[in-house]
Every structure is written in structure tokens, then in C-alpha cells.
Amino acid sequence: MADIIKLLPDHVANQIAAGEVVQRPASVVKELLENAIDAGATSIKLIIKDGGKSLIQVVDNGIGMSATDARLSFERHATSKIQSAEDLFNLNTKGFRGEALASIAAIARVDLQTKTANEEIGTAIEIEGSEIKSQEVVATPQGTSLAVKHLFFNIPARRNFLKSDAVELRHITDEFHRVALAHPSIAFNYYNNGSELFNLPESNFRQRIVNIFGKKSNEKLVPVNEDTQVVKVSGFICKSEFAKKSRGEQYFFVNNRFIKSHYLHYAVLAAFEGLIKPGTHPGYFLNLEVDPSSIDINIHPTKTEVKFDDEQTLYAILRSTIKHSLGQFNVAPTLDFDHDSNLQTPYEYKNKNAVLPKVTVDSTFNPFAEETKPTTASNSPSASSSSFSSYKKPSPQSWESLYVETPNTEVKSTGFEGVSFESEVSAKSIFDDTEDDLDTSAITFQLKRKYIVTTIKSGMVVIDQGRAHQRVLYEKFLRTVTLNEGLSQQLLFPIQLSFSLAEIDILKDIKDNLTTMGFVFGQINENIVEINGIPPMVAEAEVDTIFDELMADCQQNVGADGFSQADILSKALCKSLAVKTGDVLDKLSQAALVNDLFACTESMVSPFNKPIYVTITENDIDKKFM
């Protein structure tokens, strides 16, 4: 048989290797920024167009390359950073594989311009799909500019696989944050489609964090410092009260390289134990300096995991160092003493203002007029939308406004919530033809602060209170957005929230929909957003948390439009506003929730597709007694 094995041509080998190195535009950004840092740059510019799909350019003022080096840099395994395998154990550079430029040049069009300090004239090279198109001398400042255009132009399958520009830009920004945080002494500028996203001057670590995440982050930071033989820990943790629902700001850097480590993450969590609410995440920016020979930087090009020689010691040091900082800066609440459990309120109640009882006078009330039957129209799912804004709330108030004590005095009726649950007649007339035979005049009770149990003719229903409320709120929000009928309560003092610039982008995207929901936005100044009005259902003290969660949810769904955006927002809001397991509901609220639930278009499943209630029939119960 004839020989069949052939060596792959270089450009094919490079394309295959590129698959490993370059997953998306952000991977190119990482490689180029790291090359610039390795070249000793003190100022680096990152220029992006269309989420990196049309252009990724990095301009640095580093050492530059000679004409020969410039040409060689695109060869595979061409590197100036290591000479032998031993060098791998004493790495001081980001790169060392000599693969990045070869890979990138295989799948894009690359324009390189570079000049060293002691040469008068620089080199320009154009290369496309591994093929050198031109090489010329140019006048260019010292340093290197590398422009990567039309990524994956020759691999359509990969190009189609890319996400929207907004999503790709977000990945790039994440990468940029990591590199910029690891090198505060280098100045960075980052432009997208011609506008400047970040301008980070040379600074210290704290200033760098603040420059990236906004002025308000300064007050959140608690310094961490510990110098041991094994590791030098420095950086900041965020005070426990600023723990977030989203996992955003968690950074480990080992020898100035961003890494991910579950193990070390748990060391930080362990230090915060008992200090933060369940379901929230502490922020941290931690630098670990270790002997380069004690770590194994994964040989895989894109992985960010690192193997430490002595992980357990590192864990212990990190945990105790952070605990120490939390204690020293007095940010750990003194839970162990002076603590009266009677005074402890669930988090949901914290900061809530008491609501003064109020008397409302019905000026249209005429004692001599004929008595009219209370309307039940708003109860029925079909009629509720038409009566959405006009329906006058019968007393007592909806259970929601009883529960969420809105600080303003005026509670506006939104029809949906104005449900009369007293009248047996009205309740029956609704539920008879919709939800089988639910009898809301029946007694309800709360089980384990989690379920609401009520009886129906055929037996009983057990309702998950949290999911039921999510459903009620979800439909209400969705309706508000689609009908554009959001009500708003003016805030006496506008709330100022600070966001990262990336979050500001998201906010601009969802602002219109939030406005229809009843949020009123004032000025947006860099990273500070002013909120002048909020929907009546939202308590002022909750606004911070709500936006926190909104951002977390929207980050995963950037670029959503129209209905899907309204859907995402309604889901996010209902999630944060709904009552939770553990919340005590009084009788009034229980009954009203049951009523509201069965007035929903879809009362069986929560917005997150979980069952809301189960019915247990008399038959089921009888069987148990057989």
C-alpha cells in the first residue's frame, strides 16, 4: 500500500492551532494586551469595532520589534520569552508559547507596525490567512501597533458562531478589566466604535479599581495585607454589606496574572461566613505573590487555572488574612455578643419605614344614593386588563401594599391588586368557572412560612407562596410594559446609584422599558445614575438591591429586544420583589394572594416554569385512611 501520511501545510496547522487559542474576539484581546505588557509598555490603547468582529487593535509604547523579529513573530513556536523548557519554571512573562500571533494571523487579516528604540525607521507587515501580503518600511513611533481585522474571515462556521456585538464586547471588557487590574502602573485607553469606554491613568491598585468600577466603590474597599514565606497577599475585599446578588467583582491575580480558583474562592467565602446574606457574593480584588517555581501555569493556551504546590496552606493563610482584615476594619458585625435575637429582623424588613395608618375620604360618597353591589370585574382575568387603570380599589387594600410598605402616602390602585376577597359571592363567581371550585372565603393558613393552604370543594390546595407572588407580580409588570401603563411615585430625594460603565451600557439599553414600568430616571453622569421615581410596589430601600439583581440578570441576556427584554425585566423584578420562603403572611395577605394568583392568566406555573400549587382531593385523603 502506498504511503498515506502527509505533513499538514503550515497554514492548515496554524488554523487548527488557532481554534485552541482564539475562541472569540476577547481571546485576541487578551493575547495582544499580554504581548504589549511583556514588551514593557507603559501605555496601551485598545481599539474595538463591532464587538471585535471588524477590528481589534492594540497600540503600545513597548520595546517594539526589529524587521526580522517582526517577520518571525508570526511563525509558530517563535518566542523571545523562553529558550528552554527549564525557563517554564521561572516565568516572568505572560506569553511563552509563541503561538498567539501565528494563530491570529491564520484566521484574520493582520496589520503590524512596529519600531524599536534605536532604529530610525519601523516595519509594516500585512498578513492575511498566514500569507504575507506586504512588508514595508514605515515611519512610526516606538512600540507596536497590531490590528486584527475581520476575525474568522476564512472560517465562516466560526464567524457565525460569534454572539451579538454587545455580547462579544462584554467579553472583551471583562478581559480588559482583568488585565488592567493586574497592571495598575500601566495606563490604558479603551475605545469602542470611536467612543472612549475607559481612560485609566497610571495609578495604584485602589485607584485602578475605583477608575474601573466607579467612584462609589472606594468606600466599599477594605485593604488586605499579609506577608508570609509562602505567599504575599495584598489587595482589597469589599465590605460585607456590599455583597452582591451577582458574582461580578471577584478577582484573583497570581504574580500579576488573572486566575480562576474555586479552592481559593472558597477560602474567601469561608472568611465571610455568617457576615453576608445567603445568596449574595462578596467582592474581592486579591493579589497573591508566590515563587514562580511553586506554581504550574496551565500549558493550555486559554485556561486561567493555576496549580499551586501547597494549596492547603494558601487556603488557610487567605482565610485568616481576610478574617483579620474584616475584624480590624470593624466591618464584621458583632453578632456574638450584645445580641438580642428579639431585635433581629429578617433582612427584608430592614430599613423599611413604618406606615402610618391613613384615613381616606370618599368625596363622591352619597349616603342617600342607592346601594350598589361591589364590582367584581377586576377579579376576572379577562376583565382585569380593561379595568386595569380605572378600577377603584375596594377596601381593604391589596395584600401586596399591606406587605410592601411603600414609603409614600399615596397608594395607587392598579386594578390587579384591588381584589375584594371578602365577598363570598364574588369569589365563587370567579373561581367557579375558572379554577374549578376554589373557595376563597375558606380559611387559609400558612404552613412552615412557605406554603399557603386553603380548601376547595373537592379537597385542598397547597400553594407555594413565593412562586405564587412571582406569578402575580410577573403578569402585572408584563402588563404594565406592554400596555405602557406604569405608575410611578415621585421620590422626595432622588436616589443615586453607582454602576460600572459596562452596567451603564446595559442600563441605557433597558431604560425605556424600566420607564414604562414606573422608574423615572434623572441624569446619568458617567457612572452615577439618578432615580427620581419608582413604581409604587417598590420600596425605596429596595431599589439598590433590585438594580443589583437586574444588572446580574441582564448581563446574561444582553442584546435582547422588544418583548424578550420586557420579559427578562419582569422576571428579574418579580424575583426580587416577591415574598420569600420564611416570610410570615397574615390572614389578609394570604387570602389576597390566593385571589390574585387565580386571577392570573396562567396560575399553574411560576414565571420560571415551576409548579405553583398542588391540589389534594378528598379522595386522596380518604385513601390515606384506608
- Closest approach of Cβ 185 to ligand ADP, in Å? 17
Which of positions 7-36 make contact with Mg ion (CB under 5 A)? 35
Query: From the list Mg ion, ligand ADP, none, which binds 62 (C-beta under 5 to 8 Å, kind-based)?
Result: ligand ADP
Which of positions 274-293 make contact with ligand ADP (CB under 6 A)? none
- Closest approach of Cβ 295 to ligand ADP, in Å? 18
| 36 scored as a contact of ligand ADP (CB under 6 A) | yes
Distance of CA 561 to the CA centre of its chain: 18
Closest CA to 200 of 145, 191, 148: 191
Question: Given phi > 0 = left and psi -120 to 50 = alpha, else beta, which region is 146?
Answer: beta
Provide the grid cell at 253: 491575580
- Closest approach of Cβ 93 to Mg ion, in Å? 8
- Closest approach of Cβ 79 to ligand ADP, in Å? 3
Which of positions 92-111 make contact with Mg ion (CB under 5 A)? 95, 100
Site string for ligand ADP, 447-476 (x = CB under 6 A): ------------------------------
Which of positions 597-626 make contact with ligand ADP (CB under 6 A)? none
Query: From the list Mg ion, ligand ADP, none, which binds 63 (C-beta under 5 to 8 Å, kind-based)?
Result: ligand ADP
- Closest approach of Cβ 34 to Mg ion, in Å? 5
The per-residue DSSP string of 193-255 comes to TTEEEEEE-S--HHHHHHHHH-GGGGGGEEEEEEE-SS-EEEEEEE-GGG-BSS---EEEEET
Q: Give the residue carrying C-alpha cell 381616606.
A: 360
The per-residue DSSP string of 538-574 comes to S-GGGHHHHHHHHHHHHHTTTT--HHHHHHHHHHHHH
Site string for ligand ADP, 76-105 (x = CB under 6 A): --xxxx-------------xxxxxxxx---
| 567 scored as a contact of ligand ADP (CB under 6 A) | no
Cβ–Cβ < 8 Å for 76, 21: no
Q: Which is nearer to ligand ADP, 27 or 79 (CB)?
A: 79
Is the dihedral angle over the CA atoms 410, 415, 416, 420 positive or is it negative? positive
Stretch that binds ligand ADP, among 55-63, 193-201, 309-317, 379-387 (CB under 6 A): 55-63
- As a whole number of angstroms, the distance between CA 24 and CA 619 comes to 59
Q: Which is nearer to ligand ADP, 106 or 517 (CB)?
A: 106
Query: From the list ligand ADP, Mg ion, none, which binds 99 (C-beta under 5 to 8 Å, kind-based)?
Result: ligand ADP
Among 17, 22, 63, 574, binds ligand ADP (CB under 6 A): 63
Helix 165-182, helix 25-38: angle, nearest 10: 20
- As a whole number of angstroms, the distance between CA 532 and CA 558 comes to 25
The per-residue DSSP string of 60-86 comes to E-S----HHHHHHTTSTT--SS-SSGG
- Closest approach of Cβ 97 to Mg ion, in Å? 7
Which residues in this chain contact Mg ion in the complex, by CB under 5 A? 35, 95, 100
Which residues in this chain contact ligand ADP in the complex, by CB under 6 A? 31, 35-36, 39, 60, 62-65, 73, 78-81, 95-102, 144
